[in-house]
Amino acid sequence: MKRNCTRRFSRKRRSAFQLIAVNRELQQPVTAIKGIGEETSEALREMGITTIEELLMHIPYRYEDYEVKDLAEVKHDEKVTVEGKVYSEPSLTYYAKKKSRLTFRLLVGRYLITVVCFNRPYLKQKLSMNDTVTVIGKWDRRRQAITANELKLGPLPQKRELEPVYSVRGSVTVKGMRRFIQLALAQYGEAIIDPLPLSMRRTYRLISKQEAIRAIHFPRSHEELKQARRRLVYEEFLLFQLKIHALRKVQREHSKGIAHSFAPEKLHDFIARLPFSLTKAQQRVVREILTDMQSPYRMNRLLQGDVGSGKTVVAAIVLYAAVLSGYQGALMVPTEILAEQHAQSLQALFASTDVTVALLTSSVKGKKRKEILEQLACGTIDIVVGTHALIQEEVNFQKLGLVITDEQHRFGVEQRRILREKGQAPDVLMMTATPIPRTLAITAFGEMDVSVIDEMPAGRKKVQTYWVKHHMFERVLDFMEKEIQKGRQAYVICPLIEESEKLDVQNAIDVHSMLTHYYRGKYNIGLMHGRLSSEEKEEVMKAFSENRVQVLVSTTVVEVGVNVPNATVMVIYDAERFGLAQLHQLRGRVGRGDEQSYCILIADPKSETGKERMRIMTETTDGFVLSEKDLQLRGPGDFFGTKQSGMPEFKFGDVVHDYRILEVARNDAAKLVQSTAFWRDESYQWLRLYLHESGVLDGEKLD
């Protein structure tokens, strides 16, 4: 009993990546290592290291590079290690209180160079002519000099080129840590089990696990380090992907989801009555989703489609399918404006059917709210569109069969779970307009099936994008005016000030009054921000969509989903404050009708990446290209801007740089899980055991 508990605990703690698959011997306390006593063990415990495995998995965060190169090959400012003989008496000068400079000449092979040491006056006593010393520092090519970071008396400390540097705490030193790990490797290195069968290692020429762990700590060369990393990254990604694929298999086999069944003619009629014909991509994703819904598996699908690719109508079609099968559907969106718009679009689309669509947000109150809640519970409402209001406890469904979330990355795992659990294993579809880079899609969303709308409705013109500096603002306003005179409308989005809605609002108010002044009342300028009540917001949006307002000054509340096809100009003020994904979203508000649209970025970015972002925006309108760039510029951690995104953390792998390995590992994992050999052959026993230990096979969920 007790054993079981501790196993569960350790499983949780190590769930990110169980590195050395399940080897009991390595799970002994570090004191089992000869040479590590109680005192050291206590110090290590302070650092979270208790077992031998944990010690071996304490990976260097960098390496001291002792590689000795011929000085002729070292670039200016590059770090260099040299061993040489002191060739002149060191001279010491003080140039300020306690600031000193020590210089001497050093003979390195056939080169005579200068060594400069700052603020280490005591070295003067220790150095004498002809002494052999090792110097690590920055190479100044022009002056043929090294500014020393480290100076050691004596020859190169080891013949090893790379020396591991560990993060340490308390009484543990880096040197000590090197020694402990050396002891652990010497006594227990052999006990490291390789979970990868030899056949797999051969295929990719991967070094063994034992070799890799040794080399990641004490690499004999850069090449060896590279091979060790490659091997460990592959294993890490493979285990991660195996878990995902095994989980999917288990879920498919055991899930008692809903097998939706409906008359296809009715659905065809509905599609035929739409004001446009579906794009090929829309047809394909509808088919994918419906197939999933008809199967008894519980659908868990991500629908990706760039802004304007037409996800709403796809949602409508599959919601209709759910209703035709006798179930209710729910569509959850992140903002009230979006909820209202979606409710309106769906009501329009379903006008010719007997499907009832209701809107539920926190501003639906009193009697109306009570009514909707009752009708949801007894099933007279077929489809409900709403915000977080949908996951309140008071909301109950009679028979919820399909849950859709729009802009799904805005919701946390927990919120999606609550909504899901309002039905009996309903099918789940998550929509997103943030094109997720492939890299992230297969890590963060690996456990889902993915459908992609990769085609825009015909006749869409690309939004022309320009980047201008602030001093050109008046010309931008004149350009806007020309468009307005053609009967078009414009958005002006105001700077985003992080963490301060109040400042955002103030900005919008300022820009609004500036425009009112500039156009001297010729046009109606609307103002939209998060401090307005939802009635006020709705009124402004309504006025804008009916062209009673020609220019809408707004904070980023219009970012998602808003649809006013007559708007052709999107001006984004201080555009450098926005991320690429967000700029792309904003740009997606125009170019929704037949007219040529424009996006104007006003920005004076100071940093190079800021400039780079502006350039990329003007160069491409492809959301996937943008998202890949965004990922490269910002890194995966920042991409979604939230910890809830479910991005796993890897110890060795980097989803951006090691993308190729990730892709290979994913394909391998998918094939393995489907093969009979994997579930039977002895060579896969460790991988199978790993899956057992991580709880995937007894149906535990990843999220």
**273 lies in the binding site for ligand ADP (CB under 6 A):** no
Q: How far apart are CA 468 and CA 556, in angstroms?
A: 20
| Calpha distance 399→419 (Å, rounded) | 13
**What is the C-alpha separation between 535 and 539, in angstroms, rounded?**
6
* Whether 374 contacts 300, CB under 8 Å: no
Residue closer to Mg ion, measured from CB, 589 or 629: 589
Cβ proximity to Mg ion, 386 vs 561, nearer residue: 561
Among 550, 563, 597, 627, binds ligand ADP (CB under 6 A): 563
Per-residue mark of binding to ligand ADP, 566-595 (x: CB under 6 A): --------------------------x---
C-alpha 303/C-alpha 408 separation (Å) is 10
Is the dihedral angle over the CA atoms 269, 274, 277, 283 positive or is it negative? negative
Which residues, 168 to 187, sit near ligand ADP by CB under 6 A? none
* Count of CA atoms in the C-beta half-sphere (13 A) of 210: 12
Q: Tokens 């502006």 appear where?
A: 614
Distance in Å, CB of 614 to ligand ADP, minimum: 23
Q: What angle do CA 457, 461, 466 make, to 5 degrees?
A: 135
431 to 126, 302, 486, 566: CA distances (angstroms):
69, 6, 35, 25
10 Å Cβ neighbour count for 34? Answer: 9
Is 118 a binder of ligand ADP (CB under 6 A)? no
Question: Is residue 363 a contact residue for ligand ADP (CB under 6 A)?
Answer: no
Contacts of 69 by beta carbon, 8 Å cutoff, 6+ apart: 80
Q: Are 86 and 46 within 8 A, CB to CB?
A: no
Stretch that binds Mg ion, among 200-208, 446-454, 556-564, 637-645 (CB under 5 A): 556-564
Sign of the C-alpha dihedral computed for residues 325, 331, 337 and 342 taken in this order: negative
Closer to ligand ADP by Cβ: residue 9 or 276: 276
Instruction: Please name which of 521, 497, 526 lies closest in space to residue 509, comparing C-alpha atoms.
Output: 526
* Residue 12 C-beta: closest distance to ligand ADP, Å: 39
Cα separation values, 1 from 7, 29, 119, 662, Å:
10, 21, 61, 38
- Verify binding: residue 623, Mg ion, rule CB under 5 A: no
- Does residue 308 touch Mg ion according to CB under 5 A? no
189 touching ligand ADP, by CB under 6 A: no
CB of 432 to Mg ion, least distance (A): 9
Task: Tell me if residue 154 falls in helix, strand or coil.
Answer: coil
CA 60, CA 76: separation in Å to the nearest integer?
A: 27
From 11-19, 50-58, 139-147, 276-284, give the range in contact with ligand ADP by CB under 6 A.
Answer: 276-284
Give me the residue whose beta carbon is nearest to ligand ADP. 310
Judged by CB under 5 A, which stretch of 78-86, 328-336, 555-563, 663-671 contacts Mg ion? 555-563
Please tell me the distance from the alpha carbon of residue 69 to that of residue 108, in angstroms, as a whole number. 11
Which C-beta is closer to ligand ADP: that of 268 or that of 657? 268
Among 78, 167, 276, 594, binds ligand ADP (CB under 6 A): 276
What is the pattern of x (binds ligand ADP, CB under 6 A) and - over residues 425-444? Answer: --------x-----------
Instruction: Enumerate residues 281-300 that contact ligand ADP by CB under 6 A.
Output: 282
Buried b (16+ CB within 10 A) or exposed e, 669-703: bbebbeeeebeeeeebebbbebbebbbbeeeeebe
String marking each residue 303-332 x if it binds ligand ADP according to CB under 6 A: --x-xxxxxxx-------------------
CB neighbour class for 79 (10 Å; exposed up to 12, middle 13-18, buried from 19): middle
Stretch that binds ligand ADP, among 18-26, 30-38, 302-310, 664-672 (CB under 6 A): 302-310
Residue placing its CB nearer to ligand ADP in the complex, 390 or 564: 564
Residue type, 541: M
For residue 480, with 0-12 CB atoms within 10 Å meaning exposed, 13-18 middle and 19 or more buried, which class applies?
buried
Among 326, 457, 579, 646, contact with ligand ADP (rule: CB under 6 A): 457
Instruction: Choose the contact partner of 307 out of Mg ion, ligand ADP, none; CB within 5 to 8 A by kind.
Output: ligand ADP
Site string for Mg ion, 560-589 (x = CB under 5 A): -x----------------------------
Q: Which residue number, 196 or 560, has a Cβ lying nearer to ligand ADP?
A: 560
Binding letters toward ligand ADP, positions 226-265, x by CB under 6 A: ----------------------------------------
| Interaction of residue 280 with ligand ADP, rule CB under 6 A | no
Judged by the rule CB under 6 A, the positions of this chain that interact with ligand ADP are 276, 278-279, 282, 305, 307-313, 433, 457, 563, 592
Judged by the rule CB under 5 A, the positions of this chain that interact with Mg ion are 561
